[in-house]
A and B are shown apart, each in its own frame.
Chain A
Amino acid sequence: MASISSTEHTRRDFLYIATGAMGAVGAAAALVPLVAQMNPDASTIAAGAPIEVDLSPIAEGQVIKVFWRGKPIFINHRTKKQIEEAENVNLASLPDPQPDSARVKPKHANFQVLIGICTHLGCIPIAHQGPYDGYFCPCHGSVYDTSGRIRSGPAPLNLALPPYEFVSDTRIRIG
């Protein structure tokens, strides 16, 4: 008697478990398109394709702003003085230590390309402002130097670098 009922118990349980498991799988699968649809769609991704920028019209000392993937990109044609000030720095004194050489492409230190979004809460810093003649963020007072590194203020990190490369001496591709 006891052995028969326990076999039946197992068979019934297997059916319930199989049905329940399949239901769970179905529910999870149904969730996939609902979550995936919020990811960037194909046209948004295509619009974020790399852009090329001609550097020749940028005068020395001028900072221009272009947009890539909806983000402002600073292209700074730095003067010799600015490059010197950026390189001669005691790294240990920096809140986010990073040498200037790591923030430009080799042999192209005169053009610095940065993402112009303050690493604090996202405002666009103003160029040629602040005690270092670098960038100054008006929202909460973060101060960046001529290499876009954070010097004082609430921002935790240096201004970020976008992916880019020099396709020629006067032309870069961002992205």
Chain B
Amino acid sequence: MSGHPTYQPQNAFMKWMEARLPIAGLVHSSFIAYPVPRNLNYWWTFGGILAFMLAAQIVTGVVLAMHYTPHVDLAFNSVEHIMRDVNFGWLLRYLHANGASMFFLAGYIHMFRGMYYGSYKEPREVLWILGVILLLLMIMTGFMGYVLPWGQMSYWAAVVITNLFSAIPIVGESITQWLWGGFAVGNPTLNRFYALHYLLPFVIAGVVVLHIWALHVVGQNNPDGIEPRQDSDTVAFTPYATIKDGFFMSVFMILFAWFVFYVPNYLGHPDNYIPANPAVTPTHIVPEWYYLPFYAILRAVPNKLGGVALLGSAIVILAFLPWLDRSKVRSARYRPRYRFFFWLFFITCVGLGWLGSKPAEGVYVYAARALTIYYFAHFLVILPLLGRYEKPLPLPGSITESVLKRSGAAAVIVFAVMLAGLVGLSSPGVAAEADTPTKQKWSFAGMFGKFDRGQLQRGFRVYREVCQTCHGLTLVAFRNLADPGGPGFSSAQAAAVAAEYQVPAEPDDQGEVKDRAARLADRFPAPFKNDNQARARYNAVPPDLSVIVKARGYDRGFPYFIFDLFTQYQEQGADYLVSLLTGYADPPKDLTAPPGTFYNKYFPGHFLAMPPPLTDGRITTDGKPVYDDGTPATVDQMARDVTAFLMWTAEPHLEARKRIGLQVFIFLLVFSGLLYFTKKKVWKSLGAH
């Protein structure tokens, strides 16, 4: 642009440096003196938010990589090791997992901003295409990252997505085997996904550099879609855009913090807390919310190659946007017809996302087909026609003129709608052939939730006397019983508990592996050596209970899943477990239990191999049907107590998480407030330019 000041180094060292590697000058001209249209609204902050999220994901990812093990037998447990043992590991993991969602949320908003204001039009076509490339890289990175924990969803997502390539004629099967590194998804696959997941974010960073470079050559677009023509149309990036972006980034951090500290598993799927089982496909495989629209498009086509081709096209078609929409007017502010179709397109995308979370049956299939057709029609039919026949509103004379006329925006409502879209797409949608569990009151629920130590101790007793015979707790170490935020045993008491168990010792001098008493450092031993032994004993493999409360959930349905986000309802698994334990009944007359199973109202499919484990008075103290502390050992009480205990085994750092969350929240609220007033002060100095 015209006449912006170039960097003039003052001290001798900087002069010397600038003559050899003018980085300071580059930073100055790109991010300090760089002229930015003065009418940018907060939708323009999402580029900066994306850059921040990329840095955040790389930083949290690198530190997570210090503790993760990319081997099929060890990966799941290494992630649990991070959650339990690594200092602040639970925080780093939740930051990274929820960070991916925030990354995609910001990315989609950033793209919708571009579509609304015509930021893809001449001369910004290459900028836009670089953005589409970034979206593709993000999708690949996110997919591979999700495989790494090696849960059920991780594994089956890897199977489904790698099988997409087998749709390619002639070379498809070979390519798929080449991707797998074997005859099916396995250890070679996991290892290479890890390597590539570590690599791609740096490729993304490189393309981001190109993206920003391309941006700086042509300059930012702005909400009016007209180019700056005079000095009064623009302001220097620093301090005006810097402080405005800083403020909104802080607000975005509040949203991020809400997920990380209070509803960290809201956007995830409970099935991913079940270790990968190549023999059992989950009843409803769904990807994370940010892939759902594309998933819906894939499933809409009743042809394998067609579905894959349309999936790819749905993303690639974005690259052609500058040539499909020929309107000379950029911003939807002055294109009322286009604005209408833009919102129709937005609703289509959200609708496709919702359909992607539903089973591919019945009316959902027809709806997905209709919306898929409309999705492509928007690009191939509507945009070209609009470009030719639409009558736009008259454009303002200049940016300055437009700024002096305008006031605030209803943008907050739009943001809220997008958030609702994200929220709606994330409800797990478990198979609803069972009764809905009853909502319980938990002491650990909510912002100030804490475990009831007495309840945890009672629950531990239930586990030991009832569940332990068949169910392992192999992720929990005996020393955890003495950890803060848990059942509150002393170290000596925990060591005494440990000594009651036998674990394999180191080989002795003869090479024999004998048993020894467990110590604090040991974990609870499993009640069976391997799955085959379990099946021989029980005709089923009783699942390990360490994270069972997070591995179960139920569909809350509309509108509850929206309320849940605000009330921090994270206890679906716990409520399900209590209902399950108390939900045994006689089967209805028209159903008979298959041999070796029992009827339960809440178990999906109604028949499970576990006999009713709890009966009144199952636990006795001194001959009376009570716990040590005198609480009556009713079925209801035992069910709630053992569930609370299992919530602790699943989330041992729950209390620390909520406590630190409160501190972070207060900090962010105050900091955002300060930034807001600073922004106002800085912009006020512009005056009536």
Residues of A with Cβ closer than 8 Å to B? Answer: 12, 15-16, 18-19, 22-23, 25-26, 29, 32-34, 36-39, 41-44, 46-47, 49
For B84, list chain A residues within 8 Å (CB).
Answer: 42-43
Contacting residue for A15 out of B81, B87, B681, CB 8 A: B681
Of the candidates B89, B92, B671, the one whose C-beta lies within 8 Å of that of A22 is B671
Task: Report whether A37 and B479 are in contact in the complex, using a CB–CB cutoff of 8 Å.
Answer: no
By beta carbon, the residue of chain B nearest A46 is B521
B59 touches A42 (CB 8 A): no
- Chain A contacts of B86 at CB under 8 A? 37, 41-42
- Which secondary structure characterizes the binding site on chain B? helix
Q: Is the CB of A16 within 8 A of B678?
A: yes
A15 touches B677 (CB 8 A): yes
Chain B nearest CB from A110 CB (Å) reads: 23
Nearest CB in chain B: distance from A57 CB, A: 8
Q: Assess whether A22 is in contact with B521, with CB atoms less than 8 Å apart.
A: no
Task: Looking at the assembled complex, report how far the CB atom of B658 sits from the nearest CB atom of chain A, in whole angstroms.
Answer: 16
Also in contact, A41 and B87, with CB within 8 A (given A15-B677, A22-B674, A49-B520): yes
Closest to B663 in A: A29
Contact A42/B92 with A37-B66, A47-B521 known, Cβ cut-off 8 Å: no
**CB atoms of B66 and A46 under 8 A apart:** no
Residues in chain B near residue A12, CB distance under 8 A: 681
Closest A residue by C-beta to B674: A19
CA distance A1 to B96 in the complex (A): 54
Considering residues A18, A26, A37, A44, which has the most beta carbons from chain B within 10 angstroms of its beta carbon? A37
> A36 contacts which of B87, B479, B675 (Cβ < 8 Å)?
B87
- Check: B85 CB closer than 8 A to any chain A CB: yes
| B98-121 vs A, Cβ < 8 Å mask (1 yes, 0 no) | 000000000000000000000000
| Distance of A41 Cα from B66 Cα, bound (Å) | 12
* Bound Cα distance A41, B83 (Å): 11
Residues from chain B with a CB closer than 8 A to the CB of A33 are 87-88, 91-92
The 4 closest A-B pairs by CB, nearest first: A33-B88, A46-B521, A42-B85, A43-B85
Tell yes or no: B286 within 8 A of A by CB.
no
* A37→B92 contact, CB < 8 A: yes
- Alpha-carbon distance A25/B663, docked complex (angstroms): 13
Task: Tell me, rounded to whole Å, the shortest Cβ–Cβ distance linking B520 to chain A.
Answer: 6
B48 to chain A, nearest CB (A): 15
Q: Is B178 an interface residue (CB 8 A)?
A: no
Closest to A57 in B: B509
**Shortest distance in angstroms between B602's beta carbon and chain A's nearest beta carbon?**
35
Residues of B640-670 contacting chain A, CB below 8 A: 667, 670
Task: Answer yes or no: B358 CB below 8 A from chain A CBs.
Answer: no
Cα A56 to Cα B87 with chains together (Å): 40
A37 touches B87 (CB 8 A): yes
Q: Are B88 and A43 in contact (CB under 8 A)?
A: no
Please indicate the chain A residues that have their CB under 8 angstroms from the CB of B520 in the complex.
46, 49
Neighbouring A residues of B89 by C-beta, 8 Å: 37, 41
Write the residues of chain B forming the contact surface with A, with a CB cutoff of 8 angstroms.
59, 63, 66-67, 81, 84-89, 91-92, 477, 479, 519-521, 667, 670-671, 674-675, 677-678, 681
Tell whether, in the assembled complex, residue B674 and residue A15 are in contact, meaning their CB atoms are under 8 Å apart: yes
Question: A12-B681, A29-B667, A43-B477 provided; 17 other pairs, C-beta below 8 A?
Answer: A15-B677, A15-B681, A16-B678, A18-B674, A19-B671, A19-B678, A25-B667, A33-B92, A34-B92, A36-B88, A37-B66, A37-B87, A37-B92, A41-B87, A42-B86, A44-B85, A49-B521
Name the residue on A nearest B86 (C-beta). A41
Shortest distance in angstroms between B672's beta carbon and chain A's nearest beta carbon?
10
Tell me if B675 and A19 are in contact (CB < 8 A). Answer: yes
Instruction: Across the interface, name the chain B residue whose C-beta is closest to A12.
Output: B681
Give, as a whole number of angstroms, the nearest-CB distance from A4 to chain B: 16
Q: Give which listed residue, A16, A34, A46, contacts B479 with CB less than 8 A.
A: A46
Q: Nearest chain B CB to A52's CB is how many angstroms away?
A: 11
Interface centre among A12, A33, A43, A47 (most CB of B within 10 A): A33
Question: Chain B contacts of A25 at CB under 8 A?
Answer: 667
Of chain B, the residue at the smallest CB distance from A32 is: B88
Closest chain A residue, CB of each to CB of B95: A33
Given the complex of chains A and B, what is the CA–CA distance between A12 and B520 in angstroms? 57
Distance A26 CA – B84 CA, assembled complex (angstroms): 25
Bound complex: CA A2 to CA B670 (Å) = 32
Residue among B66, B87, B479, B667 with most chain A CB within 10 A: B87
Note all chain A residues with C-beta closer than 8 A to B66: 37-38
- In whole Å, how far is A50's beta carbon from the nearest beta carbon of chain B? 10
Closest to B84 in A: A42
- List A contacts of B67 (CB < 8 A): 37, 41
Query: Measured between C-beta atoms, what is the minimum distance from A46 to chain B in Å?
Result: 4
Complex Cα gap A46–B483 (Å):
12
**How far, in whole Å, are A32 and B63 apart by their CA atoms in the complex?**
13
Interfacial chain A residues near B87, Cβ < 8 Å? 33, 36-37, 39, 41-42
Closest-CB distance, A84 to chain B (whole angstroms): 32
Q: Complex: how many Å from CA A32 to CA B81?
A: 20
The residue in A12, A16, A38, A41 that gathers the most chain B C-beta atoms within 10 A of its C-beta is A41
CA distance A46 to B678 in the complex (A): 49
A29 and B670 alpha carbons, distance in the complex (Å)? 15
Complex-state Cα separation, A37 to B667, whole angstroms: 22
- Residue among B63, B521, B667 making CB contact with A34, cutoff 8 Å: B63
8 Å CB contact of B671 from A16, A23, A39, A42: A23
Q: Bound state CA distance, A44 and B81, in angstroms?
A: 11
Q: State the CA gap A43–B83 with chains docked (Å).
A: 12
Q: Could you tell me if A37 and B671 are in contact, using CB atoms closer than 8 angstroms?
A: no
Which B residues are in CB contact (< 8 Å) with A38? 63, 66
Q: Evaluate contact between A34 and B59: CB separation under 8 angstroms.
A: yes
Determine the distance from Cα of A43 to Cα of B77 in the docked complex, in whole angstroms. Answer: 13
Q: Give Cα distance in the complex from A49 to B677, angstroms.
A: 53
Which residues of B sit under 8 angstroms from A47, Cβ to Cβ?
521
A33–B403 CA distance with the chains assembled, in angstroms: 44
How far apart are A28's CB and chain B's nearest CB, in angstroms? 12
Residues of B within 8 A of A42 (CB): 84-87, 479
CA distance A46 to B670 in the complex (A): 40
State the Cβ distance, A3 to closest chain B Cβ, in Å: 20
| A39 CB, nearest partner CB in chain B, Å | 5
Please indicate the chain B residues that have their CB under 8 angstroms from the CB of A36 in the complex. 87-88
Kindly provide the distance from the CB of B666 to the nearest chain A CB, expressed in whole angstroms: 11
* Residue in chain B with minimal CB distance to A42: B85
